[in-house]
A = this chain, B = another copy of it.
Amino acid sequence: MSGAGAIPVAVQGLGPMGRVILGAAQRDPRLDVVAAVDIDPAMAGRSLGALDLAPEDVVISDTLPPAPEGGVLLHATGSYLEAVAGQFEAALAAGWHVVSTCEELSYPFVRHPALAASLDAAAREAGRSLLGTGVNPGLLMDRLPVFLTSASSDIRSIAVERVQDPTSRRLPFQRKVGMGLSRAEFDAKAAGGGFGHVGLEESGRLIAAGLDWRIDAWSRELRPVQPDPSAPVRGLVETLTGATGDGRRVSLHFEAQSGVAESYDAVTVEGTPPLSLRFEGGVLGDAATAAAVVRAAHVLPSAQRGLITVLDLPLRHRPPSG
């Protein structure tokens, strides 16, 4: 469904997340899905309709076509910046604005400073905007807490919790949080760096950037949830905390395990006034990530050029009349 003056979008990466994004984009009257890209030989050359996707007549390509005027690429092929930076460079050169679920793109300035600088230069040279966002990182654990600083002064601490029951989530998500593993399997995978919510550090750094806080040191912890040592691991808890020299604190708590009583997201701000906000039942990750990507596509043409973050994203597309 597309309306007059709709924004042309392409979707790159037709895995589970890309398909949810494609669906949200296709249902949005302000977007017009004009291209779909995936390198999987089983998909390239077929129509979306042949895969029970829509718009049915769009043929999947293994390379991104040149962008139509004002086109925005919705990109969902990977979490790690080094693996997908070449795709961003190609998309910018082809004239697309880019919004990507790549977690490391959400705040790449610390982990990948050289790559961030070269992507920023490429985007500016192309006159396009490049942004990493989903719901996490990109919204619940970073943009939302920064947004809330418009309702509280004298902030002494910000605590964010995302607590989820992975049982109803996709199998890859359950695997990612260690659900069902034995403790030995969990520990072996953890020792190899196989766990960890990609994006947690990026969220912490986004909060610090949004508040203009200088964090002296970040501390990160990961532990399995396994109340009964003979039973499989239920999932994991991961925390990231940081403090300024004068004692202001940021803490992020990510918990995904099958024993939670109820999924929820919460933000607690110690300040004037104090704020205690909670999403009852939590926020469903995949659908909310698709919404965040689609919403970014609405407003990205009004944003600054270059590599930007969600802190730079306008709240709306501003019509010329003001």
Task: List the B side residues contacting A149 at CB < 8 Å.
Answer: 291, 295
Which residues on B sit within 8 Å (CB–CB) of A318?
304, 311-312
Chain B positions within 8 Å of A147 at CB level: 144, 147, 315
Q: Is the CB of A311 within 8 A of B316?
A: yes
Asked whether B151 lies within 8 Å of A283 as measured between CB atoms, the reply is: yes
Identify the closest chain B residue to A29 (Cβ): B212
Q: Are A288 and B210 in contact (CB under 8 A)?
A: no
Q: Within 8 Å of chain B (Cβ to Cβ): is A277?
A: yes
In the complex, the answer to whether A277 meets B279 with C-beta atoms within 8 Å is yes
Q: Which residue of B lies closest to A151 (CB)?
A: B288
The count of identical subunits is: 2
Shortest beta-carbon distance, A31 to chain B, in Å?
A: 10
Q: Are A292 and B150 in contact (CB under 8 A)?
A: yes
Known: A151-B139, A153-B294, A315-B312. A322 touches B120 (CB 8 A): yes
| Chain B residues with CB below 8 A from A135, complex form | 151
Cβ contact within 8 Å between A296 and B150: yes
Question: Per-residue CB proximity of A141-184 to B under 8 Å, as 1/0?
Answer: 00110110111111000000000000000000000000000000
Question: A30-B212, A153-B28 in contact; A322/B295 too (CB < 8 A)?
Answer: no
Q: Does A275 contact B (CB under 8 A)?
A: yes
**Assembly CA distance A151 to B287 (angstroms):** 8
Docked-complex contact B315 and A143, CB < 8 angstroms: yes
Chain A 280-322 near chain B by CB (<8 Å), digits 1 or 0 = 1101100110111011100000001011101111111110001
Q: Within 8 Å of chain B (Cβ to Cβ): is A272?
A: yes
| A27-B154, A149-B295, A273-B287 known, 9 other contacts, Cβ within 8 Å | A146-B315, A150-B291, A150-B296, A151-B292, A153-B291, A153-B294, A212-B316, A277-B279, A277-B280
Q: 24 A–B contact pairs at CB < 8 A? A: A27-B153, A28-B153, A28-B154, A139-B151, A143-B315, A149-B291, A150-B291, A150-B296, A151-B291, A152-B291, A153-B287, A210-B316, A271-B291, A273-B284, A273-B287, A276-B279, A277-B278, A278-B278, A278-B280, A304-B318, A307-B322, A308-B322, A312-B314, A312-B318
Interface residues of A (CB under 8 A from B): 24, 27-28, 30, 120, 135, 139-140, 143-144, 146-147, 149-154, 209-210, 212, 271-273, 275-281, 283-284, 287-288, 290-292, 294-296, 304, 306-308, 310-318, 322
